[in-house]
Structure 1
Amino acid sequence: MARAMDPIPESNTSVAPLSGLRVALFSGNYNVTVDGANRALNRLVGYLLRQGAQVRVYAPTVANPAFEPTGDLVSVPSFAIPGRAEYRLPSALSPRVRRDLAAFAPQVVHVSSPDIAAHRAVSWARRRGLPILASVHTRFDTYPRYYNMAWLEPALTALLRRFYRRCDALVAPSESFAQVLRDQRMNYDIDIWSRGVDRDVFNPRRRDLSWRRSLGLADDDVVIGFLGRLVMEKGLDVFSDAIDQLSRRGIAHKVLVIGEGPARDWFTARLPDAVFAGFQGGADLGRAVASMDVLFNPSITETFGNVTLEAMACGVPVVAAAATGSQSLVDDHISGRLITPGAVRQFAEALRCYVEDADLRTAHGAAGEARSLEFSWDRINQAVADTYLRLIRQKKQRMAGG
């Protein structure tokens, strides 16, 4: 049997509290592209390694990944997702991967995407009596409605339920999303793995008027920003419809779009007067966000809302859908506005208030920045480590009692 039940120290040990812990992490997209989920996973692995744990990551690899992976990465068989070639779908646990996994002898298996390889990893772990933690990063069940296939949602929800119920516990990025998972009966052991924000990158001092000018944005322009991958499930239709409402009402504003994706041509055609600044990363991303005057995030697929938190850290008020993620971050009428999903006229009215009232932007932006100070990456990632240790102890107790 794998060395799953080797002794491990308690999580409150003062020096290297995770020394001896071995974690096998399965990711559908660890560093192939850049998104909130894989950034969070890489930060988690970096934290675990600094605390003395051993981590082995199993994920697809490509010749030219978006960034260098944190930790040891083992390539798993995969294929490009049709129509979304920037993502790859792990397709199997090959004999080579299984041998590597057995040699590593993890004490806990962490799956972060309900793909084929993760299903196989869950079965592999269950046969060996290993605890399994699943992190849930996105509202996969809502995706079909953006591609005129809403009839698929019940079947997809059932498939997700089968996957997550085979895991010992879940971690979700926000309490609002955790409650959705409970209501859907995905699992009943759900902890919170929130998200942090890098204050060196995201803060109001990053605002750069000269950069704005280089994009054709005047100092007195009120800039409504979009930040994220340009895919329909991010609410691009609602965003553009609300902007149309502002234009028809004669509300002076400018739109700044940060991000790339397969729906860029569609979005460009819908917003011909917008400034598309493309992908921004690191300090450039912090500059771009801080140079907005309001962030508009109409997406309902977010489980946390990294972009919302990043805007708040930059002192930028947020207009967001009252959905999982943002509603755990934004205090309505204090640091931003939470609007009924899809309510275009209400979104437009909230944006109008910010466009026309500089004092309101300043006050709500300051409140958002104060709220963002609560999100420390180390504290947040330790919560996941504590969940690993709890699951290992519980599994040992059940085995001893059985």
Structure 2
Amino acid sequence: YHAGWIVRVVAGYLRRFHNRTTATVVATADLRARLNALGFTNLSVLGRGVDSALFTPERRCTALRAAWGASEHDIVALYVGRIAPEKNLELAVEAYRAMQRVGGARRFVLVGDGPQWAALQKRHPDLVFPGALIAQQLAAHYATADVFLFPSETETFGNVVLEAMASGLALVAYDYAAARMHVTHGETGVLIPYGQAAAFVAGAVELARSPLRLARIRRRAPASLASVAWPRVIERFEAILSDALGQRRSPS
């Protein structure tokens, strides 16, 4: 959004504000390291949770796949999020087209809304654009797809990573933020070196060419997220609050 010229001013203000607190909670260890380098202190890492009762492979819907024009033997790719330039969606489309060329990939469904929605739909009329969805409708779209293409390079965390994995999708994402925290490469998803577009496309193509690998990743992904059930995340948050309260009460 061409706002780089104000970064130093905003960072200075935020640093002064946050360094006066007992604790600032950040989403990832990577973000903590970046903020430490900018002079921020008193940082605690707390990742996000996922509602595994809502986002589950059990919400897979044969009728929805049929509405997309896909059988159970086809590969359906999915993206969920803002339809905007910072999400790098042209790369997601490129990866899907490459999957089509090697066979197996039948549909690409892009759930969400944003400034690129109309332009992408016009350029790619064969793709599926259901708009923004919530709750059970969103969960069904996750579970009914097979591969989650997520080439964004601008995430603080990326909640959709957890939602996709909990829903039994094989994730293809850059190796940072939530993907770095929760994906074991080749076992519960596919991690791509950050910013390497050609490698992202190749990672997606490899899944299209390897149905057994795709099935294995989809099966293992939900079980890998036990540590991010919301009760566990809340326990960690309570521990951070308790520690901060103890520091405030301790004599200086």
The TM-score normalised by the length of structure 1 is 0.57
**CA contact 2:80–2:111 (8 Å) conserved in 1:** yes
Partners of 2:99 and 2:13 in 1: how far apart? 41
Give structure 1 stretches of 5+ with no counterpart: 1-146
**CA contact 1:227–1:307 (8 Å) conserved in 2:** yes
1:277 is aligned, of 124, 127, 130, to: 130
Partners of 1:393 and 1:197 in 2: how far apart? 29
1:3-402 paired onto structure 2 within 5 Å = 147-187=1-41, 189-246=42-99, 249=101, 251-253=103-105, 254-398=107-251, 401=252
Q: Which has the higher contact order (CA 8 A, sep 6+)?
A: 2
Deviations 1:274-316 (A, max 9, x none): 1012122112111110111100111122232211111111221
- When structure 1 is superposed on structure 2, of 202-211 and 295-304 the one drifting more is 295-304
**CA contact 1:289–1:314 (8 Å) conserved in 2:** yes
Partners of 2:120 and 2:15 in 1: how far apart? 34
Deviations 1:26-78 (A, max 9, x none): xxxxxxxxxxxxxxxxxxxxxxxxxxxxxxxxxxxxxxxxxxxxxxxxxxxxx
Partners of 2:216 and 2:40 in 1: how far apart? 39
| C-alpha spacing 1:316/1:250, structure 2 compared with 1 (3 Å) | closer
| C-alpha spacing 1:150/1:382, structure 2 compared with 1 (3 Å) | same
Which secondary structure state, in structure 2, belongs to the residue aligned with residue 280 of structure 1?
coil
Q: Which has the higher helix share?
A: 2
Which secondary structure state, in structure 1, belongs to the residue aligned with residue 228 of structure 2?
coil
State the 1:156 CA deviation: 4.4
Q: Percent identity?
A: 27
Q: Which runs of 4+ in 1 moved over 6 A?
A: none
Partners of 1:377 and 1:365 in 2: how far apart? 22
State the 1:224 CA deviation: 1.0
Deviations 1:319-342 (A, max 9, x none): 001122211111111111111233
**CA contact 1:239–1:296 (8 Å) conserved in 2:** yes
The TM-score normalised by the length of structure 2 is 0.88
Deviations 1:88-141 (A, max 9, x none): xxxxxxxxxxxxxxxxxxxxxxxxxxxxxxxxxxxxxxxxxxxxxxxxxxxxxx
**CA contact 1:257–1:277 (8 Å) conserved in 2:** yes
**CA contact 2:157–2:178 (8 Å) conserved in 1:** yes
One-letter amino acid matched to 2:27: P
Partners of 2:68 and 2:27 in 1: how far apart? 34
**CA contact 2:95–2:205 (8 Å) conserved in 1:** no
One-letter amino acid matched to 2:179: S
Partners of 2:65 and 2:96 in 1: how far apart? 20
Partners of 2:224 and 2:187 in 1: how far apart? 10
**CA contact 1:242–1:344 (8 Å) conserved in 2:** no
**CA contact 1:173–1:194 (8 Å) conserved in 2:** yes
Deviations 1:229-280 (A, max 9, x none): 2222222233234335545x45452211111223212332343321012122
**CA contact 2:22–2:248 (8 Å) conserved in 1:** no
**CA contact 2:27–2:48 (8 Å) conserved in 1:** yes
Which secondary structure state, in structure 2, belongs to the residue aligned with residue 366 of structure 1?
helix
Q: Which has the larger radius of gyration?
A: 1
Which secondary structure state, in structure 2, belongs to the residue aligned with residue 257 of structure 1?
strand
**CA contact 1:300–1:324 (8 Å) conserved in 2:** no
